[in-house]
Amino acid sequence: MSSSPASPECRILVFASGNGSNFQALVDALAAGNIPNARITRLIVNRGKAYATTRAEKAGIPWEYYNLISHGFQARGETDPAKLQEARNKYDAALAEKVLALDEKTERPHLIVLAGWMYIFGKHFLAPIAEKGIKVINLHPALPGKYDGTHAIERAYADFQAGKLENNKTGIMVHYVIEAVDQGAPVLVREIECREGESLEQLEERIHSHEHSLIVEATAKIVGEIVASQQAQQ
């Protein structure tokens, strides 16, 4: 008598650098059943004092610290552009290798979520990950095609103050990660209108208040697609 096929499951690997509030939002959503047929298998951080690790321990999720400098890829204080790029390439490749070395049936992810990951991946990480069919998503505090890269909220606010912000709206998006920074196809987008008399800090707080729900909704959407694909192959 043949055994029944295993229930579809989407394994998620989360990368974070700091407080881990977006990671916590995912943990809470999974516990509440709002992201069905999924589990977080591991957290990877690149800052030793990231509070996200404490959150992981409380949730019983394994975590690992892996850093560009501490793990010997880049010399502290290095300024030579060629050596800096070489270090990043080697770090990216090693991190991809680490992910792909996880057990294919129990821990290797179907989805990687960058939840406050303060580092830009290049092709040496993204190409081998994509080759194995693993999706990578990121949350960025801007609308598609607007304010790519760092200080997105500050730049949108400055344009609003100067009367140059299109429709007086900025926003946040969860997008697929490609080599071009913050230019991957959007998964979900939320517009946020700037308000007269609002300080930069107030706008930042209002934008951040939407991040948790958006990263949960986007993750649930992609998990649903991955699980549906697994079911179709059974």
**Tens digit of pLDDT for each residue in 82-91?**
999 999 999 9
What proportions of the chain, in percent to the nearest 5, are helix, strand and coil? 40, 20, 40
* pLDDT tens sequence across 18-69: 999 999 999 999 999 999 999 999 999 999 899 999 999 999 999 999 999 9
234 pLDDT higher than 80: no
Report, as an integer, the average pLDDT of 152-174.
Answer: 95
pLDDT of residue 36: 94
> What is the number of alpha carbons within 13 Å of residue 187 lying toward its C-beta?
24
pLDDT of residue 6: 65
Is 140 marked active-site?
Answer: yes
* pLDDT tens sequence across 68-110: 999 999 999 999 999 999 999 999 999 999 999 999 889 999 9
Residue 145: alpha-carbon gap to chain centroid = 18
* pLDDT tens sequence across 187-220: 999 999 999 999 999 999 999 889 999 999 999 9
Q: How far apart are the first and last CA of the chain?
A: 17
User: Cβ atoms within 10 A of the Cβ of 230, count?
Assistant: 17
> What is the number of alpha carbons within 13 Å of residue 14 lying toward its C-beta?
30
Q: Which of 140, 175, 208, 210 is catalytic?
A: 140
Backbone dihedral angles phi then psi of residue 163, each to the nearest 5 degrees: 75, 25
Report, as an integer, the average pLDDT of 137-153.
Answer: 93
Q: What CA–CA distance (Å, rounded) separates 84 from 233?
A: 43
Identify the band that residue 3 occupies on the pLDDT scale cut at 50, 70 and 90.
Answer: very low
Query: Facing residues of 16 across strands?
Result: 45
Backbone dihedral angles phi then psi of residue 145, each to the nearest 5 degrees: 80, 5
Higher pLDDT, 149 or 169: 169
pLDDT of residue 149: 87
